[in-house]
Amino acid sequence: MSQPIHASIQDGAYPRPQLLRPDWCDLAGEWAFEHDDLDAGVTERWFAETANLGQTITVPFPPESELSGIADRGFHPVVWYARSITHDEVARSGHSAARERVVLHFGAVDYRASVWIDGQFIGSHEGGQTPFSFDVTDAVAGGRPAMLVVRAEDDPHDVAQPRGKQDWLEEPHVIWYHRTTGIWQPVWLESVPAHRVDAISWMPDLASGSVDVEIDLARRPAEPVTVKVELTFAGLTLANQTYSTTEPRSHAVLQLAGQKNGQAFDGLFWSPEHPRLIDAHVWLLDLDGNTLDESFSYFGLRSVGVAGGRFVLNDRPYFVRSVLEQGYWPQSHLAAPSADALRAEVQLIKDLGFNAARIHEKVEDPRFLYWADRLGLLIWGEIGSTYEFSPEAISRVTREWTDVVRRDRSHPSIVTWVPLNESWGVQQIESDAAQLSFAQSLYHLTRALDPSRPVISNDGWEHATSDILTIHDYASSADVLDARYRDVDAVRALTEGPGPAGRRLQLVPRDVEGQAIMVTEFGGVSFAPGAPADSWGYSTAADPADFRGRVESLVTSLRTSPILSGFCYTQLTDTLQETNGLTDANRTPKLPVAVIRAIVAGD
């Protein structure tokens, strides 16, 4: 069979994998750069006079990182970038009479960005973990180079910013790491038609053998336009549907050919064991049938939820073997060192026997999610937390989390949403009704944006309403874990007491019976001979045999528990002073891969 068109052009490098056009121009590489510690750049018009930018940085690596070429990890709340956009780069973005608009995309800039071209203000964006874009057609017209300038503001002491594990101290300590300031995900140009698709989301329905597609247009059409959607799998057409609309947002339900109920669908289901992706080809046509826009997408046909006290995938109980993924690299921090490193990370997790990863205190690069979709890895989607509870923090988290869920809700790999972790940003949630209300509101907001996935209101402890009871338990003895998770009564006793971490597990009372229960952080065994004195874990192994024995006993205890629906081992890699990874910071496993896989999967 012929290769699907989408698969033939999707190699994991394109920064927005679920709305793909084949022509684009990557703006990564060397840019002019400068710190602006006195915040004088706007007054001195650095956006127009770029001679003030005397350093050179490699984008998209944060200036604190080695790969950026700057490697300055001090406090620098304002930084500036500049680079020329050439006529050739505009042409490489696919510019033509049919694709006359030029759009400048940013994957993520931490935390607040302002953009100019040739001294003309283009726009701004707040939120360090989410994408944004601007139509820059007029600014880059004329066939001459245009100077792109970006100012990024990232106050290291603003604890109302959603910042995750970025340290507010100058040097990393305990579980906090070096900061990631400014541009840390791809920047690229794309030429597009004036009438075009701006966003696509997919909501599959296993029971009916159909998928609901939501399509956002760049603007409301003055005359009716036709949307045409073709779905294929392995070269076979599953659906081909057209409809007319005058609305900027429209829906259609596509019935997959020959399928009338879920029983007939086994050969199309997406799962970690069978990561089948259905390709989508989307056209926008005018009244005469002429193509206005053409793009490519994909989705996975799968369902996820909880039932009968179990986590279920495709209507069947599924045991989640997850690992905590910090998504941090020694040379590039929160930015991946390359697009291929994201693929390799997903493959490594699978090779070690895990079928899931919990992205921790970070919104991950969409290209990582693409590889999780394609290679088959369940993902728990999380956001970097704030460190305080305030009106500003509430506003920022709500806005950014909404953008995260809307961006990523079509990825079949994402099976659970986690808007809060361990009461970060809501430290007095047990006694403060306002903080509990905020956690409740995030749960219901997430369910409103995406009713198809379980939501964890506050992972680890002090749960508000949650679809899964998740527990963080760093007991160093398998005997302790065996006793705590042997049956419903044992877990009920945990919920009635202070919990393993000394905090109540549930603030909204609910009986354990009938709940899906997971231990979503445990282990954390440190083993790193010759590591600095401040290195640590939740327990420490003396040698490789001791490390293997400790990890094996803890994992086996939870993997064989009759009541748990899954676990998440802490953690995949050593990360700076945290030496409790299954691999070192450079992704070299501390035990043979086959040994770790046998422990994790029980093979």
Closest CA to 571 of 351, 320, 322, 362: 322
Question: Quick check: bond before 419 cis, omega within 30?
Answer: no
Distance between CA atoms of residues 299 and 466, nearest Å = 26
Q: What is the pLDDT of residue 3?
A: 46
Distance between CA atoms of residues 534 and 491, nearest Å = 34
Cβ neighbours of residue 160 under 8 Å, at least 6 residues apart? 386, 387, 388, 390, 392, 393, 396
Strand partners, 381: 417
Distances (CA, A) of 552 to 123, 306, 591: 53, 28, 11
pTM of the shown model: 0.96
Supply 201's token pair.
Answer: 């989301």
Domain residue spans of the chain? 5-192, 197-299, 315-476+505-540+565-601
Closest CA to 39 of 93, 75, 84: 75
- Is the CATH code 3.40.50.300 the one for domain 315-476+505-540+565-601? no
Q: What is the pLDDT of residue 9?
A: 67
Q: What is the pLDDT of residue 575?
A: 95
Distance between CA atoms of residues 570 and 537, nearest Å = 9
DSSP structure class, residue 384? P
Residues 292, 284 contacting (CB under 8 angstroms): yes
374 three-class SS: helix
Strand duo 120-126 + 112-117: pairing: antiparallel
Same fold, 5-192 and 197-299: no
Neighbours of 13 (CB within 10 A): 16
Segments of the chain with pLDDT less than 70: 1-9, 258-266
CATH for 5-192? 2.60.120.260
CATH for 197-299? 2.60.40.10
Tens digit of pLDDT for each residue in 251-271? 999 999 865 554 456 689 999
Please provide the size of the chain in residues: 603
Tell me which residue has tokens 């009968």: 308
Supply 71's token pair.
Answer: 């490697």
Q: What is the pLDDT of residue 7?
A: 53
